[in-house]
Amino acid sequence: GLGSSISVLTNKSAKYRVLLTAHMDELGLLVKRITPEGFLKFQPIGGWLPQAIIGQRWIVKTHKTEIAGITGIKTVHVMSPKERAEIFDVEGMFIDVGATSAEDARNRLGVRPGDPVYPDSKFKALEGGARLVGKAWDDRVGVAVLIQVMKNLAEIKPPVTVVGAATVQEEIGLRGAQTSGYLAEADIAINLESGVAGDYPSISPDEAQEQIGGGPSIFFHDSSMIPNTRFRDFVVDLAE
């Protein structure tokens, strides 16, 4: 009921059910209110660093259409030295969508409190073509893998029933995974998620070990999960 997309490859004689999950939601914003001047105040959705929001271009999805916007803060020209040294908080930010007033934002552009806002980030291959830029790799990559795995399994007809779930609301508390887990009633669950890169400046091997081109990785611990060690050994042995 939350909006996750679930597919099932049924094996009627199978004893076990396997759940594969990947989340299809992404970080975003939510319109909180419209100021009298027509600027949008917002609520972050997911784990944003406030300084990563400044200067971003956005798309506001209204009930009428999709409109462009950009994040603003008080101009540096009038900041005190103390203000310039501080990390800006979300409460001081706004989105400019080109409206001249609150009425203009509501009536002409169709903006309403609660409208979703997402980054206006275009896909591009960086020079050389081997590195790609785009939004929501976390976890569109996992969803793409999930779809291909389900297609492959449909051809080989596995000896288990397989449930594939593209889940929602991961970024705000794994909510779609929880409801999909109850629905799947699986014996084993495998989550396909993007990892934390460890091959760029300022990060240490104690923080992340993944490298681009290094192949799949296995998470042994996060804030809500420690894997079964026998299952871990099975996966590692199979990979080797």
- What separation in angstroms does the CA of 226 have from each of 56, 82, 159, 220, 221? 36, 44, 27, 6, 5
Q: Count, in order, helices (H) and strands (E) of the chain.
A: 5, 12
170 is catalytic: yes
By the 8 A CB rule, do 26 and 138 touch? yes
Task: Report the amino acid identity of residue 88.
Answer: F
Ramachandran sector of residue 184 (left: φ over 0; alpha: ψ -120 to 50; beta: rest): alpha
Strands 17-23 and 161-167 turn out to be parallel
By the 8 A CB rule, do 29 and 43 touch? yes
Per annotation, catalytic residue among 66, 170, 193, 207:
170
Give the number of other Cβ atoms within 10 Å of residue 16's Cβ.
12
Cα dihedral 97/23/165/187 (nearest 10):
-150
**Active site members:** 170
